[in-house]
Amino acid sequence: MTPVWYNARKAAQVVALFARAAGGKINVLKLVKLIYLADRLAMERFESPILKDKFVSMDHGPVNSITLNFINGLAEERQEWNELVTARHGHFVGVRNPHRELNEVDELSMAELRILAETWDRFGYMSPFELRDYTHQHCPEWEDPHGSSEPIPVERIFKFLGKPESATLAAELEAQQTIDQIFARADALPAGEESDSAYSLRAGERPGAQAPLDHTHRDVRPRRELAGMHQIAAGESVF
pLDDT at 213 over 70: no
Q: Where are the domains of the chain?
A: 8-164+221-231
Lowest mean pLDDT of 76-80, 93-97, 168-172, 201-205, name the range: 201-205
pTM given for the model? 0.80
For residues 118, 124, 125, 131, the Cα torsion angle rounded to the nearest 10 degrees is 110
Per residue in 75-122, pLDDT (tens digit) is: 888 888 999 999 999 999 999 987 766 666 889 999 999 999 999 999
CB atoms under 10 Å from CB of 171, counted, come to 14
Per residue in 129-139, pLDDT (tens digit) is: 999 999 999 99
Contact present, 144 and 62 (Cβ < 8 Å): no
